[in-house]
Chains A and B, each alone.
Chain A
Amino acid sequence: MDLDKHLETIVHRCQDGERTAFEELFEMYQPRLKYYVRRLDNDGINIDDILQDIWLTVVKEITKLKDAKVFAVWLYRIARNKVYDGFRRKENFAVLPDEDEISVSGNDEPTFDEADGEKLHTALNNLKPYHREVLTLYFVEQMSYQSIAEVIGCGIGTVRSRIFYAKQALRKEMERQNG
């Protein structure tokens, strides 16, 4: 059974109120979700509270999810809203700029090697939040541009250009760290 089909089955079991299915879902997503929430709220003290709040919403609202295939997008949208709600309460909310949409050819985009993990993580923390966010979804959750657009609520063209600029900024940051 492929991963998508397996996930769909788990989500349907959750919708039937099966406890072990919720536990499976939690084990599957919690590590990557935690990484994402930490990247959004870089100086976050209440990460554990936010994560619990996210999962509480998932357990309460999962019956409302009509298409099990889009679970990851739905989960990350909940996570994003919870983190940004916290920012609004702290009056720490900034509107994200819209980057110009550009036509990107594959050759222009920097690529990153699996061995870059440690350096990439350090460099990621020094990027602008909106670059950090798209790259986290791209690298960690390996989401498509379309799914990222649905999570952050903007057009696919904006996502494409944001990832392009973010990768360039990341490469520069890594080079700066290497001296």
Chain B
Amino acid sequence: MDNNKKLAENLLKADGINPAGVTESERIAFGKILDRQLETKQLKQAYWPDKWIVIIKNSVIKFAAIIIVVSALYSKYSFLYSILRQYIK
């Protein structure tokens, strides 16, 4: 083992830290973090499959969706307006 690695280990030992591993309480606490976070991630992935996440995050697709919505609204209102004009006449 080289001098630097040994020095690092000795520093950790001097601070009461086992360089080779973690304490049981730390392991349990980290396990709880993983339980919570990985479960949330899996739920998200099950709800939104990966390819759909890519599709809905794509800015071109977002822009196209906005255009479709705006043109649909425009055509709806112009259609209603034309009917309304016929009744007024």
Interface residues, chain A, with chain B CB atoms under 8 Å away:
17, 19, 22-23, 26-27, 30-32, 34-35, 38, 48, 51-52, 55-56, 59-60, 112-118, 120-122, 124, 139-142
Check B26–A30 contact: CB distance below 8 A: yes
Taking CB as reference atom, which chain B residue is nearest A116?
B7
Q: Could you name 5 residue pairs across A and B whose Cβ atoms are closer than 8 Å?
A: A23-B31, A35-B11, A56-B33, A59-B38, A141-B8
Q: A17-B42, A31-B19, A35-B11 are in contact. Are A56 and B37 (CB under 8 A)?
A: yes
Check B37–A139 contact: CB distance below 8 A: no
Q: Pick the contact of A32 from B12, B26, B30 — CB < 8 Å?
A: B12
Check B30–A121 contact: CB distance below 8 A: no
Taking CB as reference atom, which chain A residue is nearest B20?
A31
Interface residues, chain B, with chain A CB atoms under 8 Å away:
3-15, 17-22, 26-27, 29-31, 33-34, 37-38, 41-42
Q: Pick the contact of B11 from A22, A23, A59, A139 — CB < 8 Å?
A: A139
- By a CB distance below 8 angstroms, the chain A residues around B4 are 114, 139, 142
Check B3–A117 contact: CB distance below 8 A: no
Check A117–B38 contact: CB distance below 8 A: no
Q: Pick the contact of A139 from B8, B29, B33, B41 — CB < 8 Å?
A: B8
